């Protein structure tokens, strides 16, 4: 997000995206593939904070996709469509895993992949600990898939640079061009309070 804001000329201290955590792809210029937000303390988040963090992360993910597209701009659009980046959102007593991908130019899909209740009672470990472990195992596999897609994008980009025919007018940084907005909590939290996280009926239950 910060990189994209700088490209727009918005590079003072007010225009920074401060996520609670990120995972970086070290073999890909330390670009972000996952961000996390924790909305207040455990079991203690109000709706406006949850909504704000959700939409803040949404714009952060759009910026992440834009940065990846700019870095490997000569890779194929077909491969880029396979790319998913990740958002882990903790609020209440549950952790939710969201992904974002590009379906066609200008059409981005943010989907809730899974959710899990945070286990806190030792007597319930048999029922709650295994789903918690499976949640993070599934997340790990999903991040590995993201890295594999990035590797393919990198190879395609390198091949295109070596090719004689590199003058394509429809590079990824043109095809992947979302609107990047840096939300301000003091200004926007009340605006998005009633527009909480939403997902399709087939997604894991809220």
Q: What is the pLDDT of residues 155-197, one digit of tens each?
A: 999 999 998 776 666 899 999 999 888 776 554 555 555 555 6
Mean pLDDT of the region 42-60: 87
DSSP 204: P
Helix (H, G, I), strand (E, B) or coil at 129: helix
pLDDT of residue 112: 96
How would residue 43 be classed by pLDDT, with cut points 50, 70 and 90?
Answer: confident
Whole-prediction pTM value? 0.85
Question: Nearest to residue 68, comparing CAs of 81, 58, 56?
Answer: 81
pLDDT of residue 19: 87
Residues 177-188: b if buried by 16+ CB within 10 A, e if exposed: ebebebbeeeeb
Count of other CB atoms within 10 angstroms of residue 205: 8
pLDDT of residue 18: 82
Mean pLDDT of the region 137-149: 98
Share above pLDDT 90 across residues of the chain, in percent, rounded to a whole number: 61
- State the number of CA atoms in the 13 A half-sphere of 178 facing the CB: 26
Share above pLDDT 70 across residues of the chain, in percent, rounded to a whole number: 78
Please give the residue that has the higher pLDDT: either 183 or 79: 79
pLDDT of residue 181: 80
Mean pLDDT of the region 9-20: 65
pLDDT of residue 4: 58
pLDDT of residue 182: 74
How would residue 45 be classed by pLDDT, with cut points 50, 70 and 90?
Answer: confident
DSSP 26: G
Helix (H, G, I), strand (E, B) or coil at 205: coil
């Amino acid at each position: 997000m910060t990189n994209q804001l700088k490209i727009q000329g918005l590079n003072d201290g007010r225009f920074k995206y401060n996520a609670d955590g990120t995972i970086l792809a070290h073999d890909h210029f330390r670009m972000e593939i996952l961000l996390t937000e924790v909305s207040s303390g455990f079991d203690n988040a109000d709706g406006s904070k949850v909504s704000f963090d959700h939409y803040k992360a949404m714009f952060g993910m759009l910026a992440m996709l834009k940065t990846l597209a700019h870095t490997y701009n000569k890779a194929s659009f077909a491969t880029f469509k396979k790319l998913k980046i990740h958002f882990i959102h903790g609020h209440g007593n549950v952790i939710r895993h969201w992904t974002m991908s590009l379906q066609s130019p200008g059409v981005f899909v943010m989907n809730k992949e899974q959710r899990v209740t945070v286990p806190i009672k030792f007597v319930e470990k048999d029922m709650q600990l295994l789903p918690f472990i499976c949640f993070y195992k599934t997340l790990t596999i999903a991040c590995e898939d993201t890295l594999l897609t990035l590797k393919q994008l990198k190879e395609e980009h390198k091949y295109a640079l070596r090719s004689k025919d590199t003058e394509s007018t429809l590079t990824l940084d043109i095809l992947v061009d979302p609107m990047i907005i840096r939300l301000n909590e003091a200004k926007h939290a009340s605006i998005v309070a009633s527009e909480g996280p939403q997902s399709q009926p087939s997604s894991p239950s809220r």
